[in-house]
Chain A
Amino acid sequence: MELLRIEAISKNFGGVAAVADFSLSQDDAEISAIIGPNGAGKTTTFNLISGVQEVDKGQLHFAGTNITRFPSHKIQALGVSRTFQNIRLFDGLSVIDNVKIAYTSQLGYRVFDELLSTPRVRREEKLIEERAREQLSFLGLEAHAEQKPKNLAYGLRRRLELARALMSAPKLLLLDEPAAGLNPAEIRELMKTIEHIHRERKLSVIVVEHHMELVMNICSRIHVMDFGRKIAEGTPQEITRNEKVLQAYLGDMGEVC
């Protein structure tokens, strides 16, 4: 079933078209990838999906809802979680609190309850605590729960971002260059983790990634961007043979070869 539908979205930054007429359809159980050279508009596309930036043109539909002008927190509450290319954890918070934060979707309805700390609030806090520990152990971080994120090794911080993204039980997970900065062993580990998450949590995943081994191995569909436009879409096999793609990646060298 279709979960996310992107209809011809565009975004300009002062005359530069970061994303132009980009469309995509994502099923509720697939892992797909958006690839492309640096500056192709991949991260901007993620920012548009998660509401960090507003589209200039086009529409976004998620799980039957038109989310085109929705603020980030509402899009997240509907079930879109993401991680970041440059890890964005809350340095002032412990590892477990970093995970707990993502369970605030209902925030605001019961502000006064919370200020008065009623029994219901305490029950809820306990539930959040349990859920947060569950995410940490799911990703093998339970031993680090009370530490500050900056004391964790880089690979563990990437995992922590994943744990935080899973806390809200999302339907769609957006991973922005999850392999960046990882060594080959860690990347293989990450591939297993992503497939594990996909299988266990039954969610849809879109990865933006440069690491081709990861993309080719775990993604069933690949969207290729160049200068903000989609230049190709298909299975990994189709993409590796696509001439436009080779040209975008290798320039004219592609033809010479």
Chain B
Amino acid sequence: MGSSIFVQQLINGISLGGVYAVMAVGFGIVFNVLKFSNFSHGGVVAITAYAGYYLSRNLISDFWLALAATTLIGGLAGLLVERLVFRPIRIAGKPLTYFFVNSITVAMIVQQFFSAMWGAHYFSYPDFFERTAFNISGLIVSRTYLLMLVISAVVLIALTLFLRATKLGIAIRAASSDIYTPPLMGVNTDVVTGITFLIAGMLAGITGFFLGMTYTVTPFIGSMMIKGIIAAIIGGMGSLAGGVIAGILLGVVEALLIAEVGSSVTPIIIYLGIVLLLLVRPRGIAGKPYTVKA
């Protein structure tokens, strides 16, 4: 690998890693509060990938507006999923397995829905910009990748500030350490979990839009979610910052490996690496030891 290709792949990797990081945080924030692996996140990603495609092809030609609208749709989809699927079982006090199974079911329903409706078609997003790449002293940087990087960074910083400083953010963090006590402090847990899913959905919206732009939109685009889940796990469940670090790391390793050994061998190496990493450090990069897992 020449040094210019290396730097280029590094930049692409960081950008893609940014999207993985956004996925990991969307997945992780729900895990932190309700302590279950929310596979329905992939379903919301798929919904927004299609919605973003439809909007940008038919209604909104501006990149920023289309992204904002898709983010909003993602947020609403997240709210709806929480309301219809998770809230009833949470209020009934069902065990975590129910949440886990329901989340997979939601992802499957979404996937099958898109398969049945438009399974035979592959959709690709329009080119939002006339210039699709920049040439920075010999390095070709894709505009999409650069935007992905910048937007992911801004979103993650904004979310961090929100969680750290606002009272809603404090309520979400409090619910993450113990969901049974906040109501006694006057916190409405229904609102807090609703907001958590709203935020996760918005993050899924951003992810869906970027994945749609980077790849073609197929019913299986939601399964890209596995990268976000992996990032969340190797980052350490319970630590959003760990998920971000792991997401970027995953993106970089992936991009570099693809350039070196090709795209078919890369996943094998990565998955093997993850198995080994978790053997050595089961709690992930920054995670706390967890006893609850579902």
Contact = CB atoms under 8 A, between A and B. Distances in A.
A71 to B, nearest CB: 7
A104 B167 contact: yes
B167 A100 contact: yes
B166 A104 contact: no
Contacts of A125: 165-167
B46 to A, nearest CB: 24
B57 interface: no
A101 B166 CA distance: 10
| Interface core residue of A50, A100, A168 (most chain B CB under 10 Å) | A100
Interface string A55-91: 0000000000000000111001100001010001011
A128 B177 contact: no
Contacts of A71: 183, 188
A82 B170 contact: no
A107 B184 contact: no
B84 interface: no
Interface string B152-180: 00000000001001111011011011100
Contacts of B80: none
Interface string A94-106: 0001101111110
Contacts of B191: 107-108, 111
A97 B186 contact: no
Contacts of A114: 166-168
Contacts of B184: 50, 52, 72-73, 76, 82
A91 B173 CA distance: 10
B166 A73 contact: no
B167 A72 contact: no
A93 B183 contact: no
A27 B154 CA distance: 53
Interface residues of A, number: 35
Given A97-B173, A117-B166, A125-B165, A107 B188 contact: yes
Given A114-B168, A128-B167, A76 B183 contact: yes
Main secondary structure of the interface of B (DSSP, over half): helix
B181 interface: yes
Contacts of A102: 185-186
A76 B165 CA distance: 23
| Interface core residue of B170, B171, B191 (most chain A CB under 10 Å) | B170
A92 interface: yes
| Interface core residue of B162, B178, B185, B191 (most chain A CB under 10 Å) | B185
B61 to A, nearest CB: 26
A115 B189 CA distance: 17
Nearest to A80: B184
Contact of B170 (A76, A100, A168): A100
A124 B162 CA distance: 14
23 contacts: A52-B183, A73-B182, A82-B184, A88-B178, A88-B181, A90-B181, A92-B177, A93-B173, A100-B167, A101-B182, A102-B185, A102-B186, A104-B167, A104-B170, A104-B171, A107-B171, A107-B188, A108-B188, A111-B168, A111-B191, A114-B166, A124-B167, A125-B167
